[in-house]
Structure 1
Amino acid sequence: MKVKTGSSRLIKPFYEETPPQTRSCIPLSVFDLVTYDQHVAIIYVYRPPIPSNMTVELGLRKALYVYREWAGRLHVDNEGNHVILLNDEGVRFVEASIDRALDHIMPIIPSTSLLCLHPSLEGVVELVQVQVTRFSCGSMAVGFTAHHFVADGHATSNFLVAWGLACRGLKIDPLPFHDREIFYPQNPPSFEFDHRGVEYISKTFKQIYPLIDHGIEDIVSYKVRFTSDFLSALKAKASSMRENAKPYSTFESIVAHVWRAITKARGMHASETTHVRISVDGRERLNPRVPKGYFGNLVLWAFAKSKVSNLLNEPLPYAAKLLHDAVASNSSVGDPDPPPGEAAEEHKKKPGYDQYENNNYS
């Protein structure tokens, strides 16, 4: 799939009134600092009728007016704090075309050939990049890359919805909540949860388990389709030991099933430990609740783990319970072995560790 790149330029927020100051900054929160320091890409494909590139660009500029962080730059201030400079330097906007119809590449499956549908993820200073690729049939692909430090999937989705509303000439509603300094320390400190072995881990752990590893070229992707009857039976089986309690969710039931199947297929030794890492959205779990529309990162990790022998010899409800308990407590559940990383004292040296440990949010 050969894509021809046309223009590539920076576009800035569209202000109908006097532009705000471009010297202000937003400190990254403790939740931002524990996520991945890299871009994440998404590709959306649309069939005709579709708007012009000019309409897509103007809508993006209007959305950037509401979400100024994306048009800024990451920076470290004089005190060593990681911040987002609201300097309106802009986001990368690329126009491209491909001399073939969309149907010729359908169905779209994950592969390295799709990399040409969005800008490169390496060495990027812009916090958002957009590539609009037109197909010969009139269809359009929008490749979107965004830096994870700025926002998680939930917040980024809100931005994308706002962009769509702006393209249609509609009002952006609801508006985002931008204040990341709501996570202030308690006085006196209160220690209720231990996140040192889960989110607050060494850079070594992130190097071993990166969100995106561009050095791997032999990844094979499979799309598995589960029928509704299979899912119903699987959920019933996973929840068979719950008695009067609420059944496990479909997600918990599927992941438990896949976890056991993959572990068996890998042929791991019975004494080895296997774990599943699950992203948990804290928006509905923090106490007190964060304001609606909070823009930033609010995802923590849950680790369910087990000895291979236990996972495979015990019935499906065993794995489902490990997953459920890990998400419910948002901490490591299973064997006591910590994930790879530095010692506990080294964890405490990570930026923002003390801030989170003293936090009013739990």
Structure 2
Amino acid sequence: MNFPAIHFVSECFIKPKNAPEEANQPIYLSQWDLAMVCVHYIQKGLLFAKPPTFDSGNQMKNLLEKLKKSLSLTLNHFYPLAGRLATLTQENPPIYSIYIDCANSPGARFIHASLNSTMEDILSPVDVPEIVQSFFDHDRAINHDGHSKSLLTIQVTELIDGIFIGCSINHMAVDGTSFWHFFNTWSEIFNAKGEIIAISRPPIHKRWFPDGHGPILSLPYTHHDQFIRRHDAPKLRERVFHFSANSLKKLKAKANAESNTTKISSLQALSAHVWRCITRTRNFPPDQKTSCRMAINNRTRLNPPVSQDYVGNCIQTVRAVVTAGELLEQGIGWSAWQLHQAVHNHTDEVVHEWVESWLKSRFIYQLAQFFDPSSIMMGSSPRFDMYGNEFGLGKAVAIRSGYANKFDGKVSLYPGNEGGGSMDLEICLPPHSMSLLESDEEFMETVS
């Protein structure tokens, strides 16, 4: 369908109401943060239904004011998100250092927009409509743009019968765990109606570095033109597939039975299933190498472990690599076991080896590295508390994302709306491949 243009009503900047003294100090970024400088912002948001008696005049105005007030209070705790990136350069000794400047910034951006469309217009099409990309600020921005753009933008888009709250955060400042930590805290403060004294999960902003290494003060560059690359996605279809708890239970049981184990998780079984089905649509020769990458949280892998309240990037990817022939000839149990082993083998020692290697030869991820047309990439996590965020509008009806970090074979995992272990998969594929996936019986019989 043809959508009307989105209308931008107003914008402002929000600062912490009472920033702590630490907000005057620079935040030096970790190795995982710095490697993200050319990756897109994280763009995730929630669609809420308007209450039946919702007044688009006064009640919308009141909602916006409450959102702004609670955001300002939340930024007291997440003060780096009100900052900007800054770069320090020096010739002798050579220094090229990117850090977060919390003191010299107008704050986080807050946008109010409207769209003359309904929730059904957004949710009923088979594919996610392209207009959803307009629900997020920083479209196509890379993290380095945080030198001049806000590190955090909240965009509230009012529909005829719904409200979409879109959140864009610089991926050098947060990973998925800390993105949703921020969102959960904002919801907690909003629902406390300004009466909150202490939040349930105070964030930890001091970055993790291996023993013997303090702040990383230099990258091997003299100018950003030496590393900045921008990524434009090819023509893709984006569709959300729902998997009920019962469907996932069957996939997990089948994978474990075939591998004669009980160790394969629902997530590993589902990832293996999607990997096999998408590979089949690509019609590779049997000897073609294919891989499934999975984002993995290093917090629990490190020894001693890092708190889940640590803010910043603490992630890497693990992957299993096989041939297309092996993947399709063997059952789901075999491919799920390859993924289980990849996760199991990601130990404290492996994490430290990666960090030490990066410190010796410092590099920056380019999105083109993740775009491998013979592989798939599993991102986000159904374990994040997405539907627990409420802003006086009840529980959200759907999760959607923006343009950022999408390519052929990108799969994002979300919890299902009904809970209970259900999951939603946001899959991005070229039109031809998506049509073949929709015709794949093994795949579609597991979709609810």
What TM-score does the superposition give when structure 1 sets the normalisation length? Answer: 0.78
Pick the aligned partner of 2:175 from 145, 152, 168.
Answer: 152
Looking at structure 2, the residues matched to 33 and 85 of structure 1 have their Cα atoms a distance apart, in angstroms, of 15
CA-to-aligned-CA distance 1:277-334 (integer Å, 9 cap, x gap) = 1000112221101135111111111011101122122232221111111111139xxx
- The equivalent residue for 1:200 is none
Looking at structure 1, the residues matched to 246 and 8 of structure 2 have their Cα atoms a distance apart, in angstroms, of 46
Unmatched 5+ stretches in structure 1: 188-203, 332-344, 353-362
Please say if 1:183 is aligned against 2:182.
no
CA-to-aligned-CA distance 1:7-50 (integer Å, 9 cap, x gap) = 122221111xx863765201101121233532121121122347
Q: How far off is 1:146 after superposition?
A: 0.8
Pick the aligned partner of 1:247 from 231, 242, 263.
Answer: 263
Looking at structure 2, the residues matched to 111 and 285 of structure 1 have their Cα atoms a distance apart, in angstroms, of 38
Secondary structure of 2:285 counterpart: coil
- The equivalent residue for 1:30 is 31
Contact 2:136 2:168 in 1 (8 A): yes
Pick the aligned partner of 1:140 from 146, 163, 181.
Answer: 163
- The equivalent residue for 2:429 is none
Q: 1:309 and 1:290, CA in 2 relative to 1: closer, same or farther beyond 3 A?
A: same
- The equivalent residue for 1:223 is 240
Pick the aligned partner of 1:273 from 275, 289, 296.
Answer: 289
Q: 1:254 and 1:283, CA in 2 relative to 1: closer, same or farther beyond 3 A?
A: same
Looking at structure 1, the residues matched to 160 and 316 of structure 2 have their Cα atoms a distance apart, in angstroms, of 43
Contact 2:259 2:337 in 1 (8 A): no
AA of the residue aligned to 2:136: H
Q: How far off is 1:246 after superposition?
A: 2.6
Q: 1:330 and 1:4, CA in 2 relative to 1: closer, same or farther beyond 3 A?
A: same
CA-to-aligned-CA distance 1:117-157 (integer Å, 9 cap, x gap) = 122323552101111112233x3111211110101011110
Looking at structure 2, the residues matched to 38 and 285 of structure 1 have their Cα atoms a distance apart, in angstroms, of 25
Please say if 1:13 is aligned against 2:16.
yes
Q: How far off is 1:250 after superposition?
A: 0.9
- The equivalent residue for 1:73 is 84
What TM-score does the superposition give when structure 2 sets the normalisation length? Answer: 0.64
Secondary structure of 1:221 counterpart: strand
Q: 1:105 and 1:20, CA in 2 relative to 1: closer, same or farther beyond 3 A?
A: same
CA-to-aligned-CA distance 1:87-120 (integer Å, 9 cap, x gap) = 2431111111223443443337523211221223
AA of the residue aligned to 1:83: Y
AA of the residue aligned to 1:45: L
Looking at structure 2, the residues matched to 264 and 81 of structure 1 have their Cα atoms a distance apart, in angstroms, of 45
What do you get for the CA RMSD once the two structures are aligned? 3.1
- The equivalent residue for 1:42 is 44
Looking at structure 2, the residues matched to 295 and 82 of structure 1 have their Cα atoms a distance apart, in angstroms, of 17
Looking at structure 1, the residues matched to 285 and 324 of structure 2 have their Cα atoms a distance apart, in angstroms, of 7
CA-to-aligned-CA distance 1:212-263 (integer Å, 9 cap, x gap) = x5342x21123333455543332222112444x4331111111112211211
- The equivalent residue for 1:355 is none
- The equivalent residue for 1:294 is 310
AA of the residue aligned to 2:154: V
Looking at structure 1, the residues matched to 289 and 80 of structure 2 have their Cα atoms a distance apart, in angstroms, of 41
Contact 2:88 2:98 in 1 (8 A): yes
Secondary structure of 2:74 counterpart: helix
AA of the residue aligned to 1:74: L
Contact 2:71 2:186 in 1 (8 A): yes
AA of the residue aligned to 1:77: L
Contact 1:235 1:247 in 2 (8 A): no
- The equivalent residue for 2:111 is 94
Secondary structure of 2:336 counterpart: helix
Looking at structure 2, the residues matched to 288 and 248 of structure 1 have their Cα atoms a distance apart, in angstroms, of 25
More off after superposition, 86-95 vs 99-108: 99-108
Looking at structure 1, the residues matched to 205 and 210 of structure 2 have their Cα atoms a distance apart, in angstroms, of 15
AA of the residue aligned to 2:35: V
Q: 1:283 and 1:56, CA in 2 relative to 1: closer, same or farther beyond 3 A?
A: same
Contact 1:37 1:147 in 2 (8 A): no
Contact 1:38 1:149 in 2 (8 A): no
Contact 2:15 2:82 in 1 (8 A): yes
CA-to-aligned-CA distance 1:44-97 (integer Å, 9 cap, x gap) = 112234761011011111111110110111122243222111124311111112
Looking at structure 1, the residues matched to 244 and 116 of structure 2 have their Cα atoms a distance apart, in angstroms, of 37
Please say if 1:350 is aligned against 2:370.
no
Looking at structure 1, the residues matched to 20 and 249 of structure 2 have their Cα atoms a distance apart, in angstroms, of 54
More off after superposition, 30-39 vs 88-97: 30-39
Secondary structure of 2:114 counterpart: strand
Q: Matched residue pairs, number?
A: 315
Please say if 1:163 is aligned against 2:186.
yes
AA of the residue aligned to 1:156: F
Unmatched 5+ stretches in structure 2: 52-59, 90-94, 214-225, 348-356, 365-448
AA of the residue aligned to 1:350: R
Contact 1:73 1:85 in 2 (8 A): yes
Secondary structure of 1:37 counterpart: coil
Looking at structure 1, the residues matched to 359 and 299 of structure 2 have their Cα atoms a distance apart, in angstroms, of 25
Pick the aligned partner of 1:315 from 331, 335, 341.
Answer: 331
Pick the aligned partner of 1:105 from 116, 122, 132.
Answer: 122
- The equivalent residue for 1:304 is 320
Identical counterparts, % of pairs: 24
More off after superposition, 103-112 vs 255-264: 103-112
Q: 1:320 and 1:104, CA in 2 relative to 1: closer, same or farther beyond 3 A?
A: closer
Contact 2:81 2:173 in 1 (8 A): yes
